[in-house]
């Protein structure tokens, strides 16, 4: 019998908790349960990193917009008249009202419904009624947010200086993604699921298949062999592993013949814009995320000579992952809502001309991942509840959980970088710059 639990550890400052983190183990409880870390995660991670926000397919035409909530921020992403995606804080420069209050729509100008201040889709203040002489509209444009698109995926960065490695990331993943034509796809379905867990538990859960026995539906088409080397494969999975080896060899041949990049590139904890990409086979029919592995959509995303392309898997820090098959793509984004609540948004993309009912059945298209999401929501909620006990102590990761460790490494390095920055100095500089700009505005 184990000794009874010691008293809870004394309350520690985030910096101390970060510095005393034990590698190879889950984080201490405050990282997952405290409001202080929730705020810190927004500030140090979500307001600093490139965040996957949406598919370009959600904004097909000029004037189309979506609103994206990232922690306490609300951002408008809008396609401008030059067909670029731009982004702005969704906050009126008059008295701060949220301007666009729907999740998506289409506008000519961006008009605040409170006092009718009117902005162009480039953020310029075009009209503000009844102002005093000397009021200079050019000082009151919408505040911009950095926006980038890569092969049909929209990324935002709230920081004044976004991580500079985005270009490298983009040029690495673009050749993998481009053949799937995502900029010209359409949204077939989108679901929002609120998980009762810290966002990091949601991400950690995504980064291992050690729990995949809990996903019987997913396991039909998806090889649950994540991160296993041959000698680590547990006995129960040896037959599956043999089947994977055969499918993998066949898939590589196909990828080579079609010129599709497939090699794993793994930069999960080695850079601010951490990612991993690889093209891999699927089980059964090998075409898609369905119960028998056959394509869910007759009309493929591109003119592929075969649907049997397995899937392109892309993992991004801090908040997204993607599975792109020949017939459809599934995009997952994660947004913290509170220390113990997290939004998981799942978006299914199909060819723009694929018709529901004719080319695909919605339940078949979404069944595997919708079911898997629901199962994961149960798992992470249990983790959150358990970690909330003062009896919780960090436990060891299994070797097959190495991407969980990568995620935690990346996360901890982001916190360290943030906490080591002389925040006060930085803000002083910014505030000074801001005051100067204000004075110039007057």
Instruction: Report 265-284 residues binding its own copies (CB under 8 A).
Output: none
The structure tokens 């201040």 sit at 117
122 binds its own copies (CB under 8 A): yes
Indicate the residue among 159 and 264 with the shorter CB distance to its own copies.
159
Chain residues 371-400 in contact with its own copies, contact rule CB under 8 A: 379, 382-383, 385-400
Q: Which residues contact 125 (CB under 8 A, 6 or more apart)?
A: 93, 117, 118, 119, 137, 138, 140, 141, 142
Residue 288 beta carbon to its own copies: minimum distance, rounded to whole angstroms: 27
Give the nearer residue to its own copies in terms of CB position, either 145 or 277: 145
97 counts as binding its own copies under rule CB under 8 A? yes
Q: Where are the alpha helices (DSSP H) in 211-290?
A: 216-221, 238-258
Confirm or reject binding of residue 148 to its own copies (CB under 8 A). Answer: no
Cα 319 from Cα 82, distance rounded (Å): 29
Q: What minimum distance in Å lies between the beta carbon of 145 and its own copies?
A: 7
Nearer to its own copies, 218 or 251 (CB): 218
Compute how many residues bind its own copies; rule: CB under 8 A.
87
State how far the alpha carbon of 31 is from the alpha carbons of 66, 313, 338, 378, in Å.
Answer: 31, 28, 12, 20
162/179 with CB nearer its own copies: 162
By residue count, the chain amounts to 442
Residues 22-41 that bind its own copies (CB under 8 A): 26, 29
Site residues (CB under 8 A) for its own copies, limited to 227-266: 228, 232, 234
Alpha carbon distances (Å) from 32 to 88, 212, 235, 301, 383:
30, 23, 34, 39, 10
d(CA 321, CA 147): 19
Our finding on whether 20 is near its own copies (CB under 8 A) is no
Is the Cβ of residue 187 or residue 393 nearer to its own copies in the bound state? 393
Cα angle, residue 41 at apex, residues 37 and 46 outer, rounded to 5°: 165
Which residues from 188-217 bind its own copies, rule CB under 8 A? Answer: 204, 210-211, 213-214
Interface residues for its own copies in 288-327 (CB under 8 A)?
Answer: none
Stretch of residues binding its own copies (CB under 8 A), selected from 7-15, 245-253, 272-280, 301-309: 7-15
| Euclidean distance between CA atoms 406 and 321, whole angstroms | 14
Is the preceding peptide bond at 318 cis, omega within 30 degrees of 0?
yes
Angle of CA points 297, 300, 306, to nearest 5°: 110
Instruction: Name the β-bridge partners of 110.
Output: 119
Q: Is 67 in the site for its own copies (CB under 8 A)?
A: no
Q: Which is nearer to its own copies, 97 or 370 (CB)?
A: 97
Both tokens of 331, joined, read: 């995009």
Binding its own copies (rule: CB under 8 A), the pick from 91, 301, 326, 339 is 91
């Amino acid at each position: 019998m184990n000794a009874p639990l010691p008293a809870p550890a004394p309350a520690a400052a985030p910096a101390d908790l970060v510095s005393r983190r034990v590698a190879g183990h889950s984080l201490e409880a405050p990282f997952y349960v405290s409001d202080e870390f929730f705020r810190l995660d927004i500030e140090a991670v979500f307001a600093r990193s490139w965040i996957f926000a949406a598919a370009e397919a959600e904004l097909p035409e000029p004037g189309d917009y979506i609103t994206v909530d990232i922690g306490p921020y609300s951002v408008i992403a809008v396609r401008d008249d030059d067909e670029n995606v731009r982004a702005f804080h969704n906050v009126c420069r008059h008295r701060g009202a949220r301007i666009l209050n729907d999740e998506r729509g289409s506008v000519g100008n961006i008009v605040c419904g409170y006092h009718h201040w009117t902005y162009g889709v480039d953020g310029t203040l075009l009209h503000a009624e009844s102002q005093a002489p000397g009021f200079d509209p050019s000082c009151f444009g919408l505040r911009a947010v950095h926006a980038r698109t890569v092969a049909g995926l929209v990324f935002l960065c709230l920081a004044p200086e976004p991580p500079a490695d985005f270009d490298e990331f983009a040029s690495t993943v673009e050749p993998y993604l481009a053949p799937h034509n995502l900029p010209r796809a359409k949204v077939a379905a989108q679901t929002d699921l609120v998980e009762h867990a810290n966002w990091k538990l949601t991400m950690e859960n995504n980064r291992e298949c050690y729990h995949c026995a809990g996903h019987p539906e997913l396991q039909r088409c998806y090889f649950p062999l994540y991160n296993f080397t041959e000698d680590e494969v547990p006995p129960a999975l040896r037959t599956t592993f043999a089947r994977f080896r055969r499918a993998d060899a066949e898939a590589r041949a196909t990828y080579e013949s079609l010129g599709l990049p497939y090699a794993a590139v793994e930069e999960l904890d080695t850079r601010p814009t951490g990612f991993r990409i690889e093209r891999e086979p699927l089980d059964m029919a090998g075409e898609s995320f369905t119960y028998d592995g056959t394509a869910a959509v007759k009309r493929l995303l591109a003119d592929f000579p075969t649907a049997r392309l397995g899937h392109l898997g892309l993992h991004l820090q801090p908040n997204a992952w993607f599975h792109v098959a020949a017939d459809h793509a599934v995009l997952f984004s994660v947004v913290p809502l509170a220390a113990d609540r997290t939004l998981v948004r799942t978006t299914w993309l199909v060819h723009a001309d694929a018709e529901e009912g004719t080319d695909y059945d919605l339940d078949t298209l979404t069944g595997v991942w919708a079911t898997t999401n629901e199962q994961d929501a149960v798992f992470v909620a249990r983790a959150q509840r358990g970690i909330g006990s003062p009896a919780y102590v960090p436990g060891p990761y299994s070797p097959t959980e190495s991407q969980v460790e990568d995620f935690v490494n990346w996360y901890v390095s982001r916190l360290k970088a943030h906490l080591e920055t002389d925040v006060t100095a930085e803000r002083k500089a910014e505030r000074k710059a801001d005051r100067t700009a204000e004075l110039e505005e007057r």
